[in-house]
Every structure is written in structure tokens, then in C-alpha cells.
Amino acid sequence: MSKRLVKDLDDLRAQLDELQIDIPMDGDVSVFARSVAIGNKRTPNALAVHPMEGADGETDGSPSQLTFRRYKRFAAGGSGLLWTEAIAVVPEGRANPRQLYLHEENKDRFRRLVAETKQAARYHCGHEPLLIAQLTHSGRYSKPAGHPAPIIAYHNSYLDKASKLDEVEYKLVDDGYLDELVDKFRLAAALALEAGFDGVDIKCCHGYLFSELLSAYSRAGKYGGEYAGRTRLLRKVVQQIHADHGDDLLVGVRLNLYDGLPKPQGWGATSEGEIDFSEPRQLIAELVQDGVDLFNATAGNPYYKPHINRPYTSGGYHPPEERLVGIQRLLHLSAKMQEAAGDIPVVGVGFSYLRAAAAKVAAAQVQNGSVQMAGFGRLSFANPNFANEILHQGQLDPKKVCTACSGCTTLMRAGQTTGCVIRDAYYRDLYRQTMSGGK
Ligand SMILES: Cc1cc2nc3c(=O)[nH]c(=O)nc-3n(C[C@H](O)[C@H](O)[C@H](O)COP(=O)(O)O)c2cc1C
């Protein structure tokens, strides 16, 4: 598959022509100046930072100086919505020993993070972004002490093999554990509200526990089997949090729209592994009824077939498809989600790989109503100021864009804190040290 990078809009157009892929890309970036209504709140613009884990929390789950640095840079960068990285609600569900974890004892530290983030935005941009806390249980990918300690919903032959379940100690959760999780998420949502977040996200993507349940066809009991069982936990948590806080707290869901694995071991897929949007469409409509105020589109599993989740160029992994085919899939799924969600805003995904051409492609998606907001993940690490550039200069500086090199993921997988290893000197040095074995 071609590793050709996207140089600019003309080059993107030429590549798409060659591949016979149609992606609208001549959007007017002034569309991003538009404020978006989310529940009873409004964003200052239609640009968002996607959840990007920095793996830089303290041992007790509190944000560290590096976490403060990251969110203050995002805030100063002008985005209208900051969707935080995954924040664990129970210690055993942390994806790494540095994953953020919100609990009664450290809520004041989170309160400070929210206050200083909003203050940075007011100071630099004269507005306040909305802040959504992504609440998670890492399930199969839990690693709270630095070594895998999987907590699985059911046996999945693809993922069990990839997670080497025959070599590590793991736990298959019973219904009692899942019942209790409802209250753990409710508590975390209440703490997030106290800390000043505008909303919470019940993370249901990328193969983590809630996401895994969506394909738990073979699981017995009330949280598996038929559609109603597989979606029960997510809907229960959403309904409860909405009932607890009403209009005081926005409820969001970052939802996998397609796992990239065949049914019955993948969600949103046919038994041949192609996209089948019928169940995601039904779930999105039901979640709207349950009180969801905003959605965030995503797909795939970063630990298995990562090209579906975030097309990238380097590393030893060779995707079985052209990267632009993956981008088209993410844009298509985002639009399907917005169609199913009606008036409820969807934050679209799939732009960082497009480098400087990302601004106009994202603008076209918002302009034609495919999504209400455009979110950027890896670009926010590379250039936290991307929203200001788009809003005030009308374009992205090609020298500051994400190169889709995957260095940020490599650092994280190596057990380090993470950020952009190309554009951010702190992480460039850390990457060099890590790759040279600390020498
Ligand atoms: C280092 C890294 C950390 C990430 N952390 C999270 C996370 O905490 N929660 C989440 O939902 N997605 C996470 N993602 C996925 C991104 O939010 C996003 O979906 C993905 O990078 C594709 O968007 P992009 O092309 O704009 O980067 C992460 C991705 C990377 C590379």
C-alpha cells in the first residue's frame, strides 16, 4: 500500500482521483466560527480537541504538571470543545499506571485543572470552551500496575489471541460486577460536575469494556446475547446520569460505529466483516431518547487493526488498505452517526492524517451537514494552536501539522508519558531517550 503523504489539497485531490475515492474537500473554513448548541450550553466555535491520553497522571490518578500543561495549551489554542482523554472510574480499570482516575480524594485537583484550563482560554481567546470528561473502564486493556490485567466481557477469539489471554491472568466479569459499575460511573459523573466539567462522556469505543459488551453475542445473562442485553449497561448508565443531573451536566457518548471484526465478535459489522450500521443506528436513536446531548464518532481498536481507528504512515505495521480508504470510512461513519442523531451534535473524526488539507476537508463536512463539529486528535498534540490558525488565518501551517508517524502511540506503549515527538521538544527528547534505551 502506498505510503505517500498528503502534501496539500491539490495532492490530496490527485491521490483521491487515482484511488477513485470521493471526499468533499473544498469547504469554507469560516464555517467553524459558528457556535454549536449542545444541550442547554453553547460552544464558542465548531472545532474540537478529541480525547488524547497523555498517560501523565500521578499515581493516585490526579492530573500532573504535564496534564495541566497539555490542557492549558489546548485551551489557549482556541478550540470550542475540549473532550478530555479517558479518565478511569475504578482503579482496576486504568489502562496504565498513569491514566487519570477521578475519585473523592482527588476531585479538587481536577477542579483546579478545569479552572486553569478555562482561565487559559479566557486569557488567550476571550472565550470558554466546553469541557467534557471522558469516563472509562479499560476492560480487556486494563493495566493498572503496568502489566496486563484484562477484565473481559466475553471470550473473543481474535482479541483473546492478540491479548495473549493464555499467558496472563484475566477476569471474566460477572453481572454483579457490571451492576456495581453503574454506581461507579454515577459517582464519577457527580464528581466531574463538582469539579466544573460541563459534561461527561460514557466511553464506549476502541474495545474497552463498554465497547466490548456491544459485541457480547456469546455472553449469557442480562448484559449479553440479544441487542437489548449487549446495549443494556451503556443505556443504564446514560439514563441514570441523566436522571441524577438533568440539565446541569451534559451527557455524551463516544461510540464505536464499526469494530472492524466480523459479527458475532464485532459490533456494527456483518458476518463477513463489512459495515452494518443497523444496530449502531438503533442505539444512537435510543441514546438520544435516554438523554444524550452529544456524540463523538470513532471506529476500530487501537490494539488490533489500528489502521481502522487512525490511519498512520510509519512503524512496522502494514495496513491491508490505502490509508485514504480508512479516512473515507471514518468520514462516512461520522456522517451516518449525524444522520441517526438528528439535531444532536456529532463531533466528526478522520482529519489529522490529511495534514494541511485537513482544514478544508473538515470544513466541507461541517458545511454540508455531515457533522456539526470537527474534532482533531493527533493534530492537537502536534499543534495545540490549530483552531486559532484555522479560525484566524484561514488555514493550517504545513510546518506544524501532524505527520501521522505514530510516535505518540509508540511512546505510550513504551510506558512513557506521551505527546508529539516531532513538534514538541519535550516529547522529542523523551522519544530519543526512550528509543536509545535511556542512554
Ligand atoms: C496517543 C493517543 C491517545 C489517545 N487517547 C484516546 C483517549 O483517551 N480516548 C479516546 O476516545 N480516544 C483516544 N485516542 C484516539 C483519538 O481520539 C482519535 O480518535 C484518533 O487519533 C483519530 O483521530 P485523528 O486522526 O484526529 O488523530 C488516542 C489516540 C492517540 C494516538
Atom of ligand 1 nearest to the CA of 412: 1
Atom of ligand 1 nearest to the CA of 296: 11
The more confidently predicted of residues 196 and 26 is: 196
In a domain, 4, yes or no: no
Q: Which domain holds residue 422?
A: 406-439
Asked whether residue 393 falls in the same domain as residue 412, the answer is: no
In a domain, 351, yes or no: yes
Q: What is the per-residue pLDDT across 414-424, written as a single tens digit (0 to 9) for each?
A: 999 999 999 99
232 CA distance to ligand 1 centroid (A)?
A: 26
Atom of ligand 1 nearest to the CA of 406: 31
In a domain, 3, yes or no: no
Q: What is the per-residue pLDDT across 98-128, written as a single tens digit (0 to 9) for each?
A: 999 999 999 999 999 999 999 999 999 999 9
439 pLDDT more than 60: no
CA-nearest residue, atom 31 of ligand 1: 409
Q: Report pLDDT for 116.
A: 98
Asked whether residue 385 falls in the same domain as residue 425, the answer is: no
Asked whether residue 154 falls in the same domain as residue 193, the answer is: yes
In a domain, 2, yes or no: no
Three-state DSSP at 115 gives helix
235 CA distance to ligand 1 centroid (A)?
A: 23
Q: For a pocket test of ligand 1, which of 5, 49, 50, 312 has the largest count of ligand atoms closer than 8 A to its C-beta?
A: 50
Asked whether residue 51 falls in the same domain as residue 21, the answer is: yes
Backbone phi, then psi, for 295, in 5-degree steps? -125, 160
Question: How many CB atoms within 10 Å of residue 362?
Answer: 33
134 CA distance to ligand 1 centroid (A)?
A: 12
Compute CA distances 154 → 136, 175, 223, 241, whole Å. 18, 12, 10, 26
In a domain, 1, yes or no: no
In a domain, 390, yes or no: yes
53 CA distance to ligand 1 centroid (A)?
A: 7
Q: For a pocket test of ligand 1, which of 305, 310, 383 has the largest count of ligand atoms closer than 8 A to its C-beta?
A: 310
Asked whether residue 339 falls in the same domain as residue 418, the answer is: no
Task: Give the CB-side neighbour count of residue 307, counting CA atoms within 13 A.
Answer: 17
Average pLDDT over residues 278-287: 98
8: left (phi over 0), alpha (psi -120 to 50) or beta: beta
Asked whether residue 100 falls in the same domain as residue 141, the answer is: yes
Atom of ligand 1 nearest to the CA of 205: 11
377 CA distance to ligand 1 centroid (A)?
A: 5
Here the CATH number for the domain that contains residue 266 is 3.20.20.70
349 CA distance to ligand 1 centroid (A)?
A: 10
Report the distance separating Cα 8 and Cα 173, nearest Å: 48
Q: What is the per-residue pLDDT across 149-160, written as a single tens digit (0 to 9) for each?
A: 999 999 999 999
373 pLDDT more than 70: yes
Task: Give the CB-side neighbour count of residue 120, counting CA atoms within 13 A.
Answer: 23
Average pLDDT over residues 72-85: 98
Asked whether residue 424 falls in the same domain as residue 390, the answer is: no
Q: For a pocket test of ligand 1, which of 5, 52, 135 has the largest count of ligand atoms closer than 8 A to its C-beta?
A: 52
Report the distance separating Cα 400 and Cα 62, nearest Å: 30
Asked whether residue 32 falls in the same domain as residue 173, the answer is: yes
Tell me the three cell numbers of residue 145.
500496575
Q: Are 25 and 361 contacting, i.e. CB atoms less than 8 angstroms apart?
A: yes
Number of domains making up the chain: 2
In a domain, 204, yes or no: yes
Q: To 10 degrees, what angle do helices 232-245 and 278-290 make?
A: 20
In a domain, 272, yes or no: yes
Q: Please name the helix (run of DSSP H) or strand (run of DSSP E) that holds residue 252, with its range, or none.
A: strand 250-256
Question: How many CB atoms within 10 Å of residue 291?
Answer: 18
Average pLDDT over residues 199-206: 98
184 pLDDT more than 80: yes
Asked whether residue 387 falls in the same domain as residue 284, the answer is: yes
Asked whether residue 195 falls in the same domain as residue 84, the answer is: yes
Asked whether residue 52 falls in the same domain as residue 177, the answer is: yes
Atom of ligand 1 nearest to the CA of 86: 8
Task: Name all residues whose Cβ lies below 6 A of ligand 1.
Answer: 50-53, 85-86, 134, 203, 205, 254, 298, 310, 349, 351-353, 376-379, 408-409, 412, 418
Asked whether residue 155 falls in the same domain as residue 74, the answer is: yes
